[in-house]
Chains A and B, each alone.
Chain A
Amino acid sequence: MRKAPDDYPGRLRWPRLGQDVAIVAWPSFLVASVATMVCFGFIDPLLIGNDDYPPPAFQTRMAGYAVGFFFFWLIAALSSLMTLYLVRTAHPEPADERIDDGTRSPE
């Protein structure tokens, strides 16, 4: 049996949830990496917080970098999540409706 031309594996889509997780997690990961580099390029994590009683996360530089990275990732992920939510729940674009109302030709 020869395969129908439309039957190729790449046409398959990820389930919506998988896409959503990827869309939220990945861009925020990239942004968090850049933010971590820029932030700690200028700020020494050992200088964060009170000198005499530094918070546990900033007692060593390695811990400071890691905590900073995950903090940025979380913040960026929240932003991604909200954007995704707004995009997913948006009304269709007016342009789409214009085609539907039948008063104009759809080009």
Chain B
Amino acid sequence: MNEAQAPVDGALYAARQKIYPRDIKGRFQRLRVYAVFALLGLYYVLPWIRWGERQAVLFDLPARKFHIFGLTLWPQDFYFLTWLLIIAALALFFFTALAGRLFCGYACPQTVWTETFVWIERWVEGSRTQQMKLARAPLSGEKILRKGTKYFLWFAFALWTGFTFVGYFTPITELAGKIVTFSTGPWETFWVLFYGGATYVNAGFMREQVCKYMCPYARFQSAMFDRDTLIITYDEKRGEPRGARKKGSDSRAAGLGDCVDCTVCVQVCPTGIDIRKGLQHECIACAACIDACDEVMEKVGYPKGLIRYDTQSGLEGRPKHVLRPRTIVYGSLITLLIAGFAYSITHRNVVAVDVIRDRNALFRELPGGLIENVYSVKILNKDAARHRFSITADGLPGLQVDYGTDAVEVGPGDVQSVAVRLRVPRGELKGGSDIHFTIRTQDERALEATGKARFLAPTN
């Protein structure tokens, strides 16, 4: 049955919780489909892309290394991740101030996966009306078949999602091989099922309830709103009083506004609200009602845009301001942070040193009035090339460094632990003192890093 000709009446009443969003075509829905394909495409394809010998994007948790194309991040680079999260949060604020809940409608994983699950549902069970009819129908072979197919497809898709998720953390080609032979490790199996299960429940059943009851962003996003934020609104002045009318009749003379009260805007809404009641926190700004209303307006011969993206100022007929203190502050903050991030990630030190004191002995008194401390010095080479390092120490007069050889060789992306003995003439030294270890490359590329440690000596 053609969606547009679905009976408007009768199909409306749904005294149950499940919302059956009606399918709608339009420019914003096309945009959302592109967004779904781009985002999910990225999600499902990225782990399969290779970069030289390894997976291009691999968060190798067992080895504690994150590979992102040519970049390898170590636990020491953790602050980059924090930095990224701050940029992401600011970007969210920025876009919210500018255009309202763009994130909710187009990019939120909850929306994107729900959309996919709704497509599957529609593909198996048919249009909104057919779905509701099927739900009301008594149990039959056909009902079991359709519902079963839907649940099976959902399940398979969710499982693939969980598999892909784990594929970001463990090499996906190996994981695929293990899945085929049913030999995945216990934690791999668990996380595939956990993430797959969460997708299944969130996108299949919870859907808009996640936005309504669980999402913190839905509650605080209004704090970023002002009179110039783009929101999805119903033009009340133009639409009211709403009402049905005969074709070709003069609605103005009959005292009616432009809203024909067809309720299609309510039927297409994935959160099941009535946009004509004003801005509501349940609205995820998917713009389905805009497309739906535009279609109806076109059909009845009224101008489009009874429901549209607009600002509070715009609705009141005042000038709109894209540039305003709020957006300028957010915008410049983001630019600064991104620039700083780009600079520091390209200029970060690719060698690092970690110094741990020997736990077994505080110090050793050697003949000749020397005090000795033993350290384990870990040299991290995050560079893509092999390097030879020398180790020096300073902070105390007469420090002698002994690590058995004159240079330590560390391969690319490797860590080398070296036992280092420090000796200091007893002299005036009492208790302890801070010292610094410095590692330096001995080849053409000059790299160095410093680590702090404590040198302990007798207190008397």
Given A41-B78, A42-B78, verify A9-B17 contact (CB < 8 Å).
yes
B272 touches A3 (CB 8 A): no
CA distance A2 to B18 in the complex (A): 20
Q: Does B228 contact A (CB under 8 A)?
A: no
* 0/1 string, A1-33, CB within 8 A of B gives 1: 111010111111010001100110011001000
Contacts of A10 in B (CB 8 A): 19, 208, 269, 271-274, 282
Q: Does B141 contact A (CB under 8 A)?
A: no
* 0/1 string, B237-266, CB within 8 A of A gives 1: 000000010000000000000000101001
Contacts of A5 in B (CB 8 A): 274, 276
Instruction: For chain A, residues 28 to 71, give those with C-beta under 8 angstroms from any C-beta of chain B.
Output: 30, 37-38, 41-42, 44, 60-63, 65-66
Contacts of A63 in B (CB 8 A): 187
A23 touches B187 (CB 8 A): no
Tell me the nearest residue of chain A to B208, going by C-beta. A10
Contacts of B367 in A (CB 8 A): none
B9 touches A9 (CB 8 A): no
Contacts of A41 in B (CB 8 A): 75, 78, 81
Contacts of A3 in B (CB 8 A): 9, 12-13, 263
B75 touches A14 (CB 8 A): no
Contact pick for A44, options B14, B16, B75, B216, CB 8 Å: B75
B19 touches A9 (CB 8 A): yes
Tell me the nearest residue of chain A to B262, going by C-beta. A2
CB distance from B13 to the nearest CB of A (A): 7
Contacts of B19 in A (CB 8 A): 9-10
Q: Does B319 contact A (CB under 8 A)?
A: no
Interface residues of B (CB under 8 A from A): 9-10, 12-14, 16-19, 61-62, 64, 75, 78, 81-82, 185, 187-188, 190-191, 206, 208-210, 212-214, 216, 244, 261, 263, 266, 269, 271-274, 276, 282
List 8 extra interface pairs beyond A8-B274, A18-B209, A41-B75, CB under 8 A.
Answer: A3-B9, A18-B213, A23-B213, A23-B214, A26-B214, A61-B62, A62-B62, A66-B191
What are 7 A-B contacts with C-beta separation under 8 Å? A5-B274, A8-B269, A10-B19, A10-B282, A38-B78, A41-B78, A62-B62
